[in-house]
Chain A
Amino acid sequence: MGLWQTIAKRVGYGLLLLVAVLILNFALISIAPGDIADTIAGDMGGADASVIEEIRTRYGLDRPFYVQLWRYLSRVALFDLGYSYFYNTPVTTLILEKLPATLLLVFSAQILAVITGTLLGVLAAKKPNGAVSLTVTFLSLFGFAAPVFWTGILLIILFVSIFPIFPVAGMVDVTVEGGFFVQALDVLHHLILPMVTLASIFLALYSRLARASMLEVLGADYVRTARAKGVPERSVYYKHALRNALGPVVTVAGLQFSAVISGAVVVEAVFSWPGLGTLALQSILARDTPTIMGILFFSSLVVIVVNILTDITLRLIDPRIKAG
């Protein structure tokens, strides 16, 4: 199967997954106690049964489940995720406003974790019992056990009271003026602590993985062949071995993406980063169901897109992989 066919197949499957997410969304709202009519009635300061019934009719809540579901799906197909009564804005607009901040945080943390993790793992594989290996072991224990918000808060305490060189909240400093470049630098300056915090959970995983898969690859026949025919050790290590060892790291990095988004929700809360996680938390506290459902939908969309991209990357790294 060609690359394009694979992509088409993956995209089709991704769309099916998205529909499943929407059905789940809808089912959850339907079985949860209380509906929009109750919420609206509550905001009105209470209403009697006939008024609530009227609201139900107006919003189509009296129609059968599948009719409501179909209306919901066809609206979402046009990217209409409903209206947020709390923010007085369409949900899609609201989410698209916040999405870039989250994507920036998530991608930069993921890239930082993958690159540093792979480097550490590769260095550790050179000496399986050396100092770097020991560091990787300790890091992986710490990375799994430390709650991410705790790491973030400790960093805040450290960088506020001891080394006040990084801002610890928000994404931009309103007092900073200047052109695009100055503004971008300001965002990067704000990004550093949240990015490092988020990367700290996954760094350990990738370094352990890279170490293990490097050790395995270095024992393979083709590495011995390369050495035997006199390929310089550097080239054996970084070209022959590393390229093959990257496969598992990329695979896991793709699979971890939804976990990175989960982590970002917490990190955003710690550093007041104005992204989807902060929006999700605010809309949950405000009982703004359309918004929170929209966020769940959009984050699943991001995960699905990243999964497809991971598949393509894997095929580019390793031409042997044929879609099955």
Chain B
Amino acid sequence: MAKTTASAQTADQESPELKITHPLSEMAAMFFRNYAAVAGLVLLVFIIIFTFLGPYIHTTDPFEMVWAPFTVPGEEGFLLGTDYLGRDILAAMMVGGQVSMAIGLAAAVISVVIGVTVGAFAGYYGGVIEEALMRFTEFFQVLPTLLFSMVIVALFGASLLTVTLAIGVVSWTAVARVTRSEFLRIRELEYVAAARSGSARDGYLIFRVILPNALPPIIVQANLMVGSAILFEAALSFLGLSDPNTMSWGQVIGSNRPYILDAGFAVAIPGFAIFLTVLAISLIGDGLNDALNPKLRQR
């Protein structure tokens, strides 16, 4: 961010009539020039509207048996068919999507908070603290994440809260590494030294001086975390380890799985919904990466 402002200022000195663009609007322009990222954004907005506003238009209860099981999509007025209990898959996609995305977002927030905290302290303080925190991170990298979260869910019960916590607690290591390496780089820069010489306290330096400048790669990583948390939740509920009283995309796949050879669509459709959502998120992530990284702008 600092670099952008600097380059905007030099440009201003060379040609006084040039208007200084705000870094944010420059980033937005950069983002919107990336067609794949824009497509991802449009897709994601569409999916959000579909899942959160859809149930107001298509009011079928996703838990209610409405017709014979395994009605083929398009028949009998069921756009996406019915599942093994004769429940409307279209309604399940809408309601299930809300749960999948909410858990994905919440779990990503948890992992980003843990990861940024660990990474920031490790990168800022260095020495023994860094050593200890990075060993701690390594320890979490050794545990196979899915097995570990399966254990947590098994021990503490499969509620939405435990599932979200289980995903968040096991997947913060990448964020911690990114944050640490950014902190290691930024803490040596002049403006940090300047703030330090103004006798700023550690907390101020970490959260007000360094963190805002370390944000770009963290934002990109956080965005990817949402995608992988959605996949993670899907895998858990596919295995039957999610809250049995809520409906999510993964859960629809898991419960229809024994019947894949009779009604492949009941599994293929929710899988495709997950695929599209994560695809949209990662396209946005690529766009953000380019827009937030000043070094890539020349490429």
Q: Is A196 among interface residues, defined by CB-CB distance under 8 A?
A: no
Q: Is B189 among interface residues, defined by CB-CB distance under 8 A?
A: no
Q: Is B211 among interface residues, defined by CB-CB distance under 8 A?
A: no
A36 to B70, CA, bound (A): 42
The reply to whether A299 and B238 form a contact with Cβ atoms under 8 Å apart is no
Q: Is B150 among interface residues, defined by CB-CB distance under 8 A?
A: yes
List CB contacts (< 8 Å) of B216-275 with chain A. 227, 231, 234-235, 238-241, 250, 253, 257, 260-261, 264, 267-268, 271-272, 274-275
The reply to whether B257 and A299 form a contact with Cβ atoms under 8 Å apart is no
Task: Name which residue of chain A comes closest to B230, CB basis.
Answer: A147
Say whether, besides A145-B278, A153-B271, A156-B260, A307 and B151 are in contact (CB < 8 Å). Answer: no
Given the complex, which residues of A lie within 8 Å of B106, measured CB to CB? Answer: none
The reply to whether B261 and A28 form a contact with Cβ atoms under 8 Å apart is no
Q: Is B147 among interface residues, defined by CB-CB distance under 8 A?
A: yes
Given the complex, which residues of B lie within 8 Å of A77, measured CB to CB? Answer: none
Choose the segment among B24-32, B114-122, B135-143 that binds chain A (4+ C-beta atoms closer than 8 Å).
Answer: B135-143
The reply to whether B155 and A20 form a contact with Cβ atoms under 8 Å apart is no
Choose the segment among A81-89, A112-120, A217-225, A256-264 that binds chain B (4+ C-beta atoms closer than 8 Å).
Answer: A256-264
The reply to whether B274 and A150 form a contact with Cβ atoms under 8 Å apart is yes
The reply to whether A300 and B271 form a contact with Cβ atoms under 8 Å apart is no
Q: Is A49 among interface residues, defined by CB-CB distance under 8 A?
A: no
The reply to whether B143 and A149 form a contact with Cβ atoms under 8 Å apart is no
Q: Is A74 among interface residues, defined by CB-CB distance under 8 A?
A: no
Q: Is B148 among interface residues, defined by CB-CB distance under 8 A?
A: yes
Q: Is A154 among interface residues, defined by CB-CB distance under 8 A?
A: yes
List CB contacts (< 8 Å) of A282-300 with chain B. 284-285, 287, 289, 292-293, 295-296, 299-300
29 inter-chain pairs at a CB distance below 8 angstroms, sorted by A residue, are: A17-B139, A144-B282, A145-B279, A147-B235, A147-B275, A149-B235, A153-B264, A154-B268, A156-B260, A161-B264, A258-B143, A259-B144, A259-B145, A265-B146, A266-B146, A277-B147, A280-B150, A284-B150, A285-B240, A287-B154, A289-B154, A289-B155, A292-B151, A295-B147, A296-B147, A296-B148, A300-B142, A303-B143, A303-B144
Q: Is B156 among interface residues, defined by CB-CB distance under 8 A?
A: yes
Task: Name which residue of chain B comes closest to A283, CB basis.
Answer: B154
The reply to whether B275 and A150 form a contact with Cβ atoms under 8 Å apart is yes
Q: Is A32 among interface residues, defined by CB-CB distance under 8 A?
A: yes
- A103 CB → nearest B CB, Å: 13
Q: Is B283 among interface residues, defined by CB-CB distance under 8 A?
A: yes
- B58 CB → nearest A CB, Å: 24
Query: 5 closest A-B pairs (Cβ-Cβ)?
Result: A150-B271, A262-B146, A32-B155, A145-B278, A145-B279
Q: Is B152 among interface residues, defined by CB-CB distance under 8 A?
A: yes
A304 to B153, CA, bound (A): 24
The reply to whether A153 and B260 form a contact with Cβ atoms under 8 Å apart is yes
The reply to whether A17 and B138 form a contact with Cβ atoms under 8 Å apart is yes
Q: Which positions in A face B, CB cutoff 8 Å?
A: 17, 20-21, 24, 28-29, 32-33, 141-142, 144-150, 153-154, 156-157, 160-161, 255, 258-259, 261-263, 265-266, 269, 277, 280-281, 284-285, 287, 289, 292-293, 295-296, 299-300, 303-304, 307
Contact of B264 among A29, A157, A303 (CB under 8 A): A157
The reply to whether A144 and B278 form a contact with Cβ atoms under 8 Å apart is yes
Q: How large is the interface on B (under 10, 10 to 19, 20 to 34, 35 or more residues)?
A: 35 or more
A21 to B139, CA, bound (A): 8
Task: Name which residue of chain B comes closest to A255, CB basis.
Answer: B141
The reply to whether A32 and B260 form a contact with Cβ atoms under 8 Å apart is no
Say whether, besides A145-B227, A149-B238, A20 and B147 are in contact (CB < 8 Å). Answer: no
- B74 CB → nearest A CB, Å: 18
A144 to B274, CA, bound (A): 11
Say whether, besides A144-B282, A147-B231, A300-B144, A28 and B151 are in contact (CB < 8 Å). Answer: yes
Given the complex, which residues of B lie within 8 Å of A147, measured CB to CB? Answer: 231, 234-235, 238, 250, 253, 271, 274-275, 278
Given the complex, which residues of B lie within 8 Å of A154, measured CB to CB? Answer: 268, 271
A276 to B264, CA, bound (A): 27
Task: Name which residue of chain B comes closest to A300, CB basis.
Answer: B142
The reply to whether B138 and A292 form a contact with Cβ atoms under 8 Å apart is no
List CB contacts (< 8 Å) of B261-299 with chain A. 261, 264, 267-268, 271-272, 274-276, 278-279, 282-283
Given the complex, which residues of B lie within 8 Å of A141, measured CB to CB? Answer: 279, 282-283
A307 to B146, CA, bound (A): 19
A141 to B39, CA, bound (A): 14
The reply to whether B143 and A28 form a contact with Cβ atoms under 8 Å apart is no
The reply to whether A296 and B253 form a contact with Cβ atoms under 8 Å apart is no
Given the complex, which residues of B lie within 8 Å of A33, measured CB to CB? Answer: 156-157
